[in-house]
Amino acid sequence: MKVAALQMVSGVSCSANLQAAKILIKQAAEQGAEIVVLPEYFCLLGAVDTDKLAIKEVLGRGPIQEMLSQSAEQHKIWIVGGTLPLEAENDSHKVYNSTLVFNPQGELVVRYNKIHLFKFKKGNEQYDESKTLVAGSTPVVFDMLCQAGQTWRIGLSICYDLRFPELYRALSDLGSELILVPSAFTYTTGAAHWEILLRARAIENQAWVMAAAQGGTHENSRKTWGQTLVVSPWGKVMSQLETGSGCLVVDINKDEIDEARTNLPALKHRRL
């Protein structure tokens, strides 16, 4: 199955970001991708964190969701909408950072709300997502029937989730064969930990891992790490983008999952 991870350098204009995403989605579809994954905050990296509140949407309607649905239907592909801000029912000052998945008919299949909220401080560089986000609580997987007739079980996670292996073990227990990680890793934390964490999550769960990233210097002066990549169940980086906008298309297969789990049946050896 051909999969595509898109890398963006999203700015402060939601409409401009949606147009850029549409172009990359089209490129991925033209290269034969059956599922396309956008990065975290593909729709907006605002001048300040609270800018996301201005573009928040109610589940089921809004220009961001319309673009994702229409693009999926137009190109007859699955689209994993990175993340977008969705209304928090009981707090008008915060939103959920949510991944939405659309099938080739343009229908919303599943929603995942980011569970782990990023907080970081080093000198003048500091972030605290809890000021604008409500945390999710539930691991989410979905099933995708590919053109070859195989059904893939796909697990969802977002950026900072990557540091919490218990979530990925839960996704593995739910049968995940491919785990997605739309992200906007900072340059500082990405340089230190991005690849090693992604490879670890693939190795320990003997599953494919695909991470679509923000990658570059943004209009708000934030610098993200990039390095969008796909990792095999054996922990090999199959392909990688460095920085800037782009489309990474990779062929993945279930044989490598079966081989890893047969040769080294670590998942069967668990005792805890």
Specify the pTM: 0.98
Q: Give every CB contact of residue 177 below 8 A, 6+ residues apart in sequence.
A: 152, 153, 154, 207, 208, 254, 257
pLDDT value at residue 75:
98
End-to-end CA distance of the chain: 33
pLDDT value at residue 90:
85
pLDDT value at residue 79:
99
Cα 204 from Cα 165, distance rounded (Å): 9
pLDDT value at residue 13:
98
User: pLDDT tens, 81-105?
Assistant: 999 999 998 899 999 999 999 999 9
Cα 210 from Cα 155, distance rounded (Å): 10
Does 159 participate in catalysis according to the annotation?
yes
**What are the domain boundaries of the chain?**
2-269
Does 107 participate in catalysis according to the annotation?
no
Kindly report the CATH class assigned to 2-269: alpha beta
Mean pLDDT per block of 10 residues along the chain (272 residues) reads 98 98 98 98 96 97 98 98 95 96 98 98 93 98 97 98 98 98 98 98 98 97 97 98 98 98 98 94
Of the residues 40, 87, 129, 177, only one is catalytic, namely 40
Does 43 participate in catalysis according to the annotation?
no
pLDDT value at residue 210:
98
